[in-house]
Structure 1
Amino acid sequence: MGLIDCLFIADGRNLPIFEHIVNSPAPTFQYVKDRLNSMLKGEFEDPGSSNSVFDHLDPVLDIDANWRVAWTKIDAVYLIVAGETFPEYTEVVSDDDDDDDEDEGDDAQEQKETVTISRTANDLQYLQFLADFGTVVKSFLNGAVLTPAKVELNAHNLLLILQEMVDASFPYLTDLNQLQELLPSNSILNKIISTTKQIQGTASHSINSLAQGSSLLHASSSASSLASSQFQKGVLPASCIFEKSGNEIPWRKVNVKHTQNEMLVDLVERISWIVPASKSPKPAYGASTYYNLGLSAKKSRPVMAAMDGTVYFNSSLSGVPTVQLVLNLNKHDLGVPSFHRCVDTEIWSKSPGVVQFIPPDDKFMLMKYKINLLETETPVNVWNYMGPVDVELVGGLGVERNEFEIKLQTKLLKTVKFIEDLKVEILVPKGHTVRGLRITHGDLQSRNGVQEWILDKSLPTGINCTFRGQLLRSGGDSSALRPDYVTVSYSNKGSVPSLIKVDSMKIISGGSTNVKPYKGVKYITHTNNIMLR
């Protein structure tokens, strides 16, 4: 009984193009497809235009009382695994017998308790394996798009990968670095296959080399006995598979060497805000506010204000270095971030902001965190963390109170020079369009029925932008309604809205002592969802 008893790869027409049986007995692809088709007919009368049965069902399902199937789509193919279902619960009976119980006889057996424990396998185990397998396959194919033709051409590669990744029907080796050490590269395999015919053609000449082969056999026997004696003494040869697959740092390659050592950090944050529209100002008689480009002093409190942060680390360091990255959290409580498994979490628990780790040899996601500004223990001014663009939506303007205004203010920051790809989508009620009355920057465009206020590709900081308009009905008459909501999107480099910074980054042990590593930090801000309604 295991998680993975067989693996199939199918195309978009439900035809198998690769099949590997890990443990017998295992269901056939035809049986899996028939069971899924029967479940599909029971839930959907019209499966749609797609020809694949996998597009309309949950990614993990029990197809009968014995088998569980999971799948995912990567590029143009479907990866499917099947394994025996685990019993949902199992009963465990205590077998601890005391001396007093022996005296009591049958009464002692009646007092034994039966405990029921859960043995349900987590569905994410299947999906995580499929994701890891897809990542490894694409890496061995140099990032090529997985198509049915590509899978059939590289079936030998897939078989070798599965033999290393699965052991006894359970995921075994899933780290890409380990598999790259254990498996030959694609170019070496192709060379071996291409020379097979040449080896067969020269087989007849081997008869004349029997004497030499005999001596080689004796030599190999001597080498084998030597290796066996070294193994018994606890000495493993450098090329031993146990050294490569059982190393203490499975996420890092063996004997990493770089001519130029580098440590690069990318700190990326995405903003998610939902802000109610500001109240309409009272008309001021005797004074014109037509050229008032500033934002209101009092704005509505957001109903959602959060930031999702990701720290990427790009390592090009020789040896086995231990890196310490110190973050200035700017008084934010990150709670329990999601770390790469290379991070020593005990050090973070004792000193929040200190990330100590032995990095993989490449760019990887070091940690992820989330900051909810509305759930902080100490009150904060949320507007200080909105990022370099401040936004406001005001309705009910004009003499007839049928105009609205969108105000943007790009804050003047020393570290940010430009706001990139700034645009505002204006979502209006059905049957209405937007008419621009005054636009200080950019222009109004319509794309796929959505009205967009497009500003400059690279907008300088420290300026105010205003869009004043009104809604028109389909007949061309002005409407007293205002937009349902507007969404703002942009990106910038040089700062993140939480104001978290990297204080220091250094190698505290290991690594190369001859070369001082180059250090670089980049701050990037993206908008996940900024909505004003």
Structure 2
Amino acid sequence: MGLIDCLFIADDRNLAIFEHVVNSPAPTFQYVKDRLNSMRKDDFEDSGSSKSVFDNLEPVLDIDANWRVAWTKLDAVYVIVAGETFPEYTEVVSDNEDDEEEDADDATEQKQTVTISRTVSDLQYLQFLTDFGTVVKSFLNGAVLSPAKVELNAHNLLLILQEMLDASFPYLTDLNQLQELLPSNSIFNKIISTTKQIQGTASSSINSLAQGSSLLHASSSASSLASNNFQKGVLPASCIYEKSGNEIPWRKVNVKHTQNEMLVDLVERISWIVPASKSPKPAYGASTYYNLGLSAKKNKPVLATIDGTVYFNSSLSGVPTIQLVLNLNRHDLGVPSFHRCVDTGIWSSNPGVVQFIPPDDKFTLMKYKINLLETESPVNIWNYMGLVDVELIGGLGVERNEFEIKLQAKLLNTVKFIEDLKVEIHVPKDHTVRGLRITHGDLQSRNSVQEWVFDKMLPTGINCTFRGQLLRSGGDPSTFKPDFVTVSYSNKGSVPSLIKVDSMKIISGGSTNVKPYKGVKYVTQTNNIMHR
């Protein structure tokens, strides 16, 4: 009984193009497809149909009382795994050995039966499928996985699965370890090409003798070389027939770089939902077109969160231990999600200090979430809303059938431009927007959505105003105002939480002769900013 007893890869015509049985007995692809077909709610035509059997199905499901199936789409193919279903509870019988030693003459054995749960999380299947897809894409140099590509690289897929699975359970899933254990695709191509040349230039009998002699000679030479290296204290390189002994599986062994550098990208995505403001009293004789400032009194948002991600790009020789110190700006990040290379004990005792041995590439070091509405210390949440502030006001004009969107791009020394700024205007059904006065940008219609679009790079420190009104389907003005507006933009040089990197240094390991280059980049992005 295992988590993954077989793996299939199918095309969009529901035909199997790769099969690998990890443990017998295992269901066939035809049986799995038939069971999935019977579970679909809509009609399904067989392999001649362009509709996949996996459409409208859950990613993990039991196809019968014995088998559980999980699937995912990877580029142009479907990857399916199947394993036996685990019983919900299992009885474990334990012998009381201490009592047996004390009462050796007592023939009655004291046994205790305990019932334990054996539930398996669906995330285990989905995580393996994700890891498998990452590894396969890496070994194929990022190529799009098509049915033809799968058939051409079936030998690579087989070797990958031999290492990733052990006794029907995920074993080695780290990309760095697998790259050490498995030969590259270029080596396979060279072996296959050489073999074809030998077969084409010699007869089968002579070729058999020649191959036998060369294999014996190569085996003898390899054994002699390995023995000599071992006696000299030189450890053999990792190969496919032995598991990697690397104590740091996420980092390659013997990493060397001519230019050492470590780069940090701190990216935060803001989400805001601000309720509607009360319409102001009409002020006759004054033009609000020249009143570009936002209202001093603002409604408290019903949602105010910041999702942060710290990316780290390491190009360092050796096995360095890095200490990254963050200035949290009085924010309580709770328990962030860390990469497994991070020493979480140091963070627990000293929040803001991240100590780790990095992988040799760009990776996600940590993720965190800040809920500004649940902060214990009193803070002004408007200080953490980002550089763009928006306000929607309705009921303007003499007949109170106009609305106004005010936008303010705050001035900050570290930020020069606001990038890709746009405001989507969501209106009631059968209504359109007519622009009356616009200080910056232009009103555009895309996919039935009205957008107030600005230049690609908008300077900071300016106020923008859009004055308009809603028109009914017949063209008559309406007293309604837009239901809400959404804002999207990005900027470099700051993050809304004002979290900063105080220091970044190598505290042990690494190259002592080379001073690494250090770089930090701050990026703000929008996730969902809505003003009603």
TM surpasses 0.5: yes
Deviation at 1:2, TM superposition (A): 0.8
Contact 1:277–1:395 at 8 Å: present in 2 too?
no
Identity of aligned residues (%): 82
Deviation at 1:96, TM superposition (A): 2.8
In structure 2, the residue matched to 1:223 is 224
Is the alpha carbon distance of 1:225 and 1:108 closer, same or farther for their aligned partners in structure 2, counting shifts above 3 Å? Answer: closer
**Equivalent-residue separation in structure 1 for 2:215 and 2:43 (angstroms):** 71
**Equivalent-residue separation in structure 2 for 1:247 and 1:218 (angstroms):** 26
1:148-187 matches, within 5 Å, as 148-187=147-186
Deviation at 1:64, TM superposition (A): 1.1
SS, match of residue 289 in structure 2: coil
In structure 2, the residue matched to 1:30 is 30
Deviation at 1:50, TM superposition (A): 5.8
**Equivalent-residue separation in structure 2 for 1:225 and 1:260 (angstroms):** 33
**Equivalent-residue separation in structure 2 for 1:146 and 1:87 (angstroms):** 36
SS, match of residue 160 in structure 1: helix
In structure 1, the residue matched to 2:55 is 55
SS, match of residue 158 in structure 2: helix
1:83-482 matches, within 5 Å, as 83-96=83-96, 114-200=113-199, 201-202=201-202, 216=217, 219=220, 223=224, 226=227, 237-241=235-239, 245-285=244-284, 287-482=286-481
Contact 2:229–2:236 at 8 Å: present in 1 too?
no
**Equivalent-residue separation in structure 2 for 1:347 and 1:311 (angstroms):** 17
**Equivalent-residue separation in structure 1 for 2:323 and 2:92 (angstroms):** 46
Is the alpha carbon distance of 1:292 and 1:107 closer, same or farther for their aligned partners in structure 2, counting shifts above 3 Å? Answer: farther
**Equivalent-residue separation in structure 1 for 2:175 and 2:521 (angstroms):** 26
Deviation at 1:53, TM superposition (A): 1.2
Runs (5+) with no aligned partner, structure 2: none
SS, match of residue 195 in structure 1: helix
Amino acid paired to 1:238: P
Amino acid paired to 1:2: G
Contact 2:95–2:109 at 8 Å: present in 1 too?
no
In structure 2, the residue matched to 1:14 is 14
Is the alpha carbon distance of 1:116 and 1:227 closer, same or farther for their aligned partners in structure 2, counting shifts above 3 Å? Answer: farther
SS, match of residue 54 in structure 1: coil
Amino acid paired to 1:88: E
Contact 2:10–2:18 at 8 Å: present in 1 too?
yes
Deviation at 1:389, TM superposition (A): 0.5
Deviation at 1:288, TM superposition (A): 4.2
**Equivalent-residue separation in structure 2 for 1:61 and 1:489 (angstroms):** 38
Deviation at 1:121, TM superposition (A): 1.2
Amino acid paired to 2:288: T
Amino acid paired to 1:30: Q
SS, match of residue 259 in structure 1: coil
Is the alpha carbon distance of 1:209 and 1:75 closer, same or farther for their aligned partners in structure 2, counting shifts above 3 Å? Answer: closer
Amino acid paired to 2:310: V
**Equivalent-residue separation in structure 1 for 2:279 and 2:496 (angstroms):** 28
Deviation at 1:381, TM superposition (A): 0.8
Deviation at 1:237, TM superposition (A): 2.9
- Alpha-carbon displacement from aligned partner over 1:274-295 (angstroms, at most 9, x marks no partner): 0112211122355443310000
Deviation at 1:374, TM superposition (A): 0.3
Deviation at 1:219, TM superposition (A): 4.9
Is the alpha carbon distance of 1:192 and 1:470 closer, same or farther for their aligned partners in structure 2, counting shifts above 3 Å? Answer: same
SS, match of residue 290 in structure 2: coil
Contact 1:102–1:108 at 8 Å: present in 2 too?
no
SS, match of residue 255 in structure 2: coil
TM value normalised by structure 2: 0.92
Deviation at 1:498, TM superposition (A): 0.4
- Alpha-carbon displacement from aligned partner over 1:295-329 (angstroms, at most 9, x marks no partner): 00001110000010000000000011111111111
Deviation at 1:55, TM superposition (A): 1.8
- Alpha-carbon displacement from aligned partner over 1:139-184 (angstroms, at most 9, x marks no partner): 1111001111111111111111111111111111111111111111
Deviation at 1:191, TM superposition (A): 1.0
**Equivalent-residue separation in structure 1 for 2:211 and 2:448 (angstroms):** 81
Is the alpha carbon distance of 1:91 and 1:443 closer, same or farther for their aligned partners in structure 2, counting shifts above 3 Å? Answer: same
SS, match of residue 393 in structure 2: strand
Count residues with an aligned counterpart: 524
Alignment of 1:509 onto 2:489: no
Contact 1:416–1:495 at 8 Å: present in 2 too?
yes
TM value normalised by structure 1: 0.92
Is the alpha carbon distance of 1:197 and 1:395 closer, same or farther for their aligned partners in structure 2, counting shifts above 3 Å? Answer: same
SS, match of residue 305 in structure 1: strand
